[in-house]
Amino acid sequence: MDGWRTRYFPILAEFVRSGGQFVRPETKELWRELADLPTNEILEQHEECVKFLLSYAEPEDRMTFVHRSLLFITELLISLRIPEEAAATEETETERLMRTASAIHSAPMEEGHPNKFETVLQHMDSGVALFDGAGNLRFLNVQMSRMLQAPRRSLIGCTLYQLFFHANLQLSIRKNFLRIYKEMILYRRFHGEFQNVNGRFLLVSISQIDELDGDYLISVKDVSEYKQIEQAAFQNDKLAMLGKIAAAIAHEIRNPLTSIRGFIQLLNPFLKEVGKQEYGRIILSEIDRANDIIYEFLNSSKPSAPMKQKVLVGLLLKETIMLSESEALMKGCEIHNEIFNPYLTVAVDVKQIKQVLLNIIKNALDAIYEMKDERKGRIDISSRQEGKYALISIKDNGKGMQRTTLNRLFDPFFTTKEAGTGLGLSVSYRIIVNHGGTIHVDSQLNEGTEFLIYLPFVD
């Protein structure tokens, strides 16, 4: 594409967008370059650019864009084709040019609405943008405008440099622009995944195909839901692996412990004769403790199928809080409970759900205790109905978590505690999933953490 064609569109777009109040510095240079070109060639390029402008314009703006585009081409052609020495024929030449330019601008308006292919492109779930070889933004659809959180009319015709400093774009979006541009230039990387400030995952693809005459097509798709499915599958794989490890431990350790316990009992009479029966008692006690640990581990790694019964959520929380109040009192922490719907009912395995709630409350108490500042420890527990679910919220004002910790919170064996096993939250996650619910966590460092547990409610 000729150099003047590349520069024509952004200059026209800037003129139309500003209502003629702002003219780009390179406009005069472009007009000098067009002086020796045939009028028809200029009009063809102008017509193509006007169609691009109208493709993103809102219905109420189309007439305004047409009028401003007509003003632009009229001023351009008159300045190029009406020299001062030909002033005598100025009126006739002006009328001819006006008729020609008006014909171009009336055609798009007569079409009324975009064709079905343009409508499909505008309403795709992926954001689409088109840049020319010089880096000017020529087109973007509705979805891309939503992702950028800026109106299309303020972006069309901008150069990459202008987008880096655009007032309507958030700083985080402009930083991602710069990052994508660097990776494309330095590493020739045309596909990548980025995470925005809201935690959404965006898949960005840049392609340059022959049919676009050197233009760059950029598509952006929100793949956050796919990432969640992928993470859930990965979590299930890890839990399945944990179950296999637990079964191996049970087979390899539990049976020898049973044999050792039997032999110690046989040796008890001989130990009593030499006055060492206390040794036998301690050995049996330690073997029993080891068996209890293994039993607890097996139950933790693979929770049994829930034995469901209907229970009031308020009653379930009240009983759980009673079990935690003594520890909270020792750690100088207050537990507040608020029930928005006293008749909210769920069908759950009470023992398993209590295990989940007690585990989360204990973690909250530990997080508050580790703050060691003058702030009064507080845990707020509430329940309410949200859609088809009963929502239980457990919120503390403890030390909070970093994002890296938050991402691995439900991983088996992952823990930040010196004496922790890393199984509590992993088991809690599996229990809630087995009940047909979900669990989400929101945390801010040095501010606190909130667990949101969703369980299907029943009438």
* Cα–Cα nearest to 328, from 367, 356, 355: 367
**Which residue range is the domain that position 177 belongs to?**
114-222
Q: Are residues 314 and 418 in the same domain?
A: yes
Could you give the CA distance from residue 414 to residue 411 in angstroms, rounded to a whole number?
6
Percent of the chain beyond pLDDT 70?
79
Binned at pLDDT 50, 70 and 90, residue 336 comes out as very high
The number of folded domains in the chain is: 4
Residue 147: give its domain's CATH number.
3.30.450.20
Could you give the CA distance from residue 424 to residue 301 in angstroms, rounded to a whole number?
9
Residue where a domain terminates, one of 222, 250, 266:
222
Q: Are residues 274 and 339 in the same domain?
A: no
Residue 112: what pLDDT?
43
What is the mean predicted confidence (pLDDT) over 210-221? 75
What's the start-to-end Cα distance of the chain, in Å? Answer: 68
Could you give the CA distance from residue 219 to residue 144 in angstroms, rounded to a whole number?
8
Q: Note whether 354 and 310 are within 8 A (CB).
A: no
Residue where a domain terminates, one of 93, 113, 133:
113
Residue 1: what pLDDT?
45
Binned at pLDDT 50, 70 and 90, residue 106 comes out as low
Q: Report pLDDT digits (tens) over 396-445.
A: 998 888 888 888 888 777 777 766 667 778 888 888 998 999 999 999 88
How many CB atoms sit inside 10 A of residue 221's CB?
18
**Helix, strand, coil: what percent of the chain each, to 5?**
60, 20, 25
Q: Are residues 281 and 292 in the same domain?
A: yes
Q: Are residues 74 and 23 in the same domain?
A: yes
Convert 231-243 to b/e letters by CB count within 10 Å (16 or more is b).
Answer: eeeebeebbeebe
Q: Are residues 87 and 30 in the same domain?
A: yes
Residue 247: what pLDDT?
67
* 3 state SS of 454: strand
* Cα–Cα nearest to 160, from 121, 141, 124, 132: 132
Q: Note whether 27 and 87 are within 8 A (CB).
A: no
Q: pTM for the complete prediction?
A: 0.43
Q: Are residues 320 and 452 in the same domain?
A: yes
* Cα–Cα nearest to 439, from 299, 235, 303: 235
Residue 52: what pLDDT?
72
Binned at pLDDT 50, 70 and 90, residue 382 comes out as very high
Cα angle 250, 254, 259 (rounded to 5 degrees) comes to 155
DSSP track, 74-92? HHHHHHHH--GGGGGGHHH
Which DSSP letter does residue 251 get? I
333-339 vs 377-386, strand pairing mode:
parallel
> Does 98 have pLDDT greater than 80?
no
Q: Are residues 177 and 266 in the same domain?
A: no
Residue 302: what pLDDT?
57
Q: Are residues 318 and 450 in the same domain?
A: yes
Helix (H) / strand (E) element for 441: namely strand 438-444
Could you give the CA distance from residue 73 to residue 62 in angstroms, rounded to a whole number?
17
Q: Are residues 295 and 314 in the same domain?
A: no
> Does 24 have pLDDT greater than 90?
no
Q: Are residues 247 and 344 in the same domain?
A: no
Q: Are residues 181 and 257 in the same domain?
A: no
Could you give the CA distance from residue 143 to residue 224 in angstroms, rounded to a whole number?
16
> Does 113 have pLDDT greater than 90?
no
Q: Are residues 330 and 451 in the same domain?
A: yes
Residue 86: what pLDDT?
42
Q: Report pLDDT digits (tens) over 37-84.
A: 887 788 888 887 877 777 666 666 777 777 777 778 777 776 665 444
Better pLDDT: 285 or 74? 285
Residue 313: what pLDDT?
94
Residue 194: what pLDDT?
73
Task: Identify how many contiguous H helices and E strands the chain contains and give both numbers.
Answer: 16, 12
Q: Note whether 185 and 196 are within 8 A (CB).
A: no
> Does 102 have pLDDT greater than 50?
yes
Residue 55: what pLDDT?
66
Better pLDDT: 198 or 169? 169
Q: Report pLDDT digits (tens) over 230-280.
A: 777 777 777 777 767 776 776 678 778 888 888 888 888 888 888 888 888
Percent of the chain beyond pLDDT 90?
15
Residue where a domain terminates, one of 301, 317, 337:
301
Please give the mean pLDDT across all residues of the chain.
78
Residue 153: what pLDDT?
74
Residue 87: what pLDDT?
43
> Does 180 have pLDDT greater than 80?
no
**Whole-angstrom Cα Rg for the chain:** 35
Could you give the CA distance from residue 59 to residue 8 in angstroms, rounded to a whole number?
24
191-195 vs 201-207, strand pairing mode:
antiparallel
